[in-house]
Structure 1
Amino acid sequence: MKILIVEDEKELSDVIAGSLEKEHFVVETASDFHSASEKIALYEYDCILLDITLPGGNGLQLLEEAKRTGKEENIIIISAKNSLEDKISGLALGADDYLTKPFHIAELNARIKAVLRRKKLDGKNIIEIANLSMDINERLVTVSGHTLQLNRKEFDILNYFLFNKNRLVTKTALAEHVWGDSIDNADNFDFIYYQMKNLRKKLQEAAAAIEIESVYGVGYKLVEK
């Protein structure tokens, strides 16, 4: 899962990022309006944590623009402003939740997981496709009731494919989602090939009733057998 933190207070941004990384999220940050606008336009995220007051502009403008252009990210507003008007405006524009500073990091983590469950899992923690089951919170995958041992990246890759079943996933989109925006600096995607090779082998050996097909020259697609 990939999170963008839009927050100009570096200390708070670092604390949030550290906490989310411990929860195995891929985390990106933006500290001003223009860098946030660029990242939101160029990349896809599972959730955006959005401060209202930013250098160079207002966070609500970013929210409005994201919704206008059809972006589907979950958006949680995090702001020191505690006025009812700001909260109503944010929710009316399409924000999924609103959290007022100061807040406990544990509460923020809970809010993030809650909005992800609501939008992607209909409130559940578990994805089930064919004979495979993935528990998002426990980071546990089973095939026909037997645990499938995956490393962190293999789990994140499979998680992304399960959310995009039957959809073409390009190598670039997969790399950005699992490894973060810094992937732009990579010379090639050989590292994806090796991770995919190992993941597909494990799924096959476990007799999973799903497979990740290669789409020549473009990427991959997860389908039921």
Structure 2
Amino acid sequence: MKLLIVEDEPALITSLVSYLQGQHYVCEVASTFADAQEKMLLYDYDCILLDLTLPGGDGLDLLRELQRQRKANGVIITSARNAVEDRITGLHLGADDYLPKPFYLPELSARVAALVRRRHYNGSNLIQAHALTVDVLARTASVAEKPLTLTRTEFDLLLLLLANQGRVIAKGAIAEHLSGDAAEQFDTYETVYAHVKNLKRKLTEVGAADYIRTVYGIGYRFEPGAAA
């Protein structure tokens, strides 16, 4: 799962990135209004943690821009601006939640997880696709009750595919989702090919069908209709 942290306090940024990466999230950071606007419009995120008071602009204007562009990113406002009017405006502009500063990092993580469940997995921790069962919270997977041993990146790739069942995901989108800003350092998608190949192999080894289909020249699609 990929997050964008829009925040300008260096100490808080360090704490957020350290904690959330420990919770298996890929984290990108934008510390100014302009940086946040560029990232939010160019890329997709499972959740954006949005401070309202930013160098160069107001976070509520970023929400307005997301609304104009019909971007479907989940948004949790994290702000010291505790006015009721700001909360109401933010929620009307499409924010999913509002967590006033100061907050506890475990509570923030729980709210992020809840938002991701609501938006991608119908509010459940368990995802079922024929013989495949994935527990999002426990980060475990099995096929017909046979455990599926995955690396962190392979599990994140599986979640991405499951959240977009039936839709083609471009190789570039997969690379950016799994690696965040680091994806721009690579000229090829060899890492994506390797992760997909390993995930397909591990699924097959425990008896799963060929759920992951290659769309040549574009990317990959998870076919929920494939039967084991």
Fold shared by both chains (TM-score > 0.5): yes
Structure 1 residue aligned with 2:110: 110
Structure 1 residue aligned with 2:170: 170
The one-letter code of the counterpart of 2:146 is H
Structure 2 residue aligned with 1:82: 82
Structure 1 residue aligned with 2:156: 156
- Distance, in Å, in 2 between the alignment partners of 1:8 and 1:210 is 45
Alignment of 1:37-76 (within 5 A): 37-76=37-76
Query: SS of 2:196's equivalent?
Result: helix
Query: SS of 1:180's equivalent?
Result: helix
Structure 2 residue aligned with 1:3: 3
Q: CA deviation at 1:209?
A: 3.3
Structure 1 residue aligned with 2:96: 96
- Distance, in Å, in 1 between the alignment partners of 2:73 and 2:151 is 26
Structure 2 residue aligned with 1:205: 205
The one-letter code of the counterpart of 2:178 is V
1:111-147 CA deviation, whole Å, 9 max, x = no partner?
1111111222222111111110111111000100111
Contact in 1 for aligned 2:49/2:77 (Cα 8 Å): yes
1:178-199 CA deviation, whole Å, 9 max, x = no partner?
1112211212111111111111
Please, what TM-score do these two structures have when normalized by structure 1? 0.97
Q: CA deviation at 1:210?
A: 4.6
Contact in 1 for aligned 2:80/2:100 (Cα 8 Å): yes
Same amino acid, percent of matched pairs: 48
Structure 2 residue aligned with 1:29: 29
The one-letter code of the counterpart of 1:26 is V
- Distance, in Å, in 2 between the alignment partners of 1:100 and 1:183 is 32
Query: SS of 1:44's equivalent?
Result: coil
1:187-225 CA deviation, whole Å, 9 max, x = no partner?
211111111111111111111135211111111111132
Q: CA deviation at 1:96?
A: 0.3
Structure 2 residue aligned with 1:183: 183
- Distance, in Å, in 2 between the alignment partners of 1:197 and 1:117 is 27
- Distance, in Å, in 1 between the alignment partners of 2:177 and 2:112 is 17
Contact in 2 for aligned 1:7/1:50 (Cα 8 Å): yes
Please, what TM-score do these two structures have when normalized by structure 2? 0.96
Structure 2 residue aligned with 1:14: 14
For structure 1, which segment, 4-13 or 189-198, has the greater mean C-alpha deviation from structure 2 after superposition? 189-198
Query: SS of 2:211's equivalent?
Result: strand
Query: SS of 2:150's equivalent?
Result: coil
Structure 2 residue aligned with 1:129: 129
For structure 1, which segment, 161-170 or 113-122, has the greater mean C-alpha deviation from structure 2 after superposition? 113-122
Contact in 1 for aligned 2:141/2:148 (Cα 8 Å): yes
Aligned length: 225
- Distance, in Å, in 2 between the alignment partners of 1:71 and 1:127 is 25
1:146 matches 2:149: no
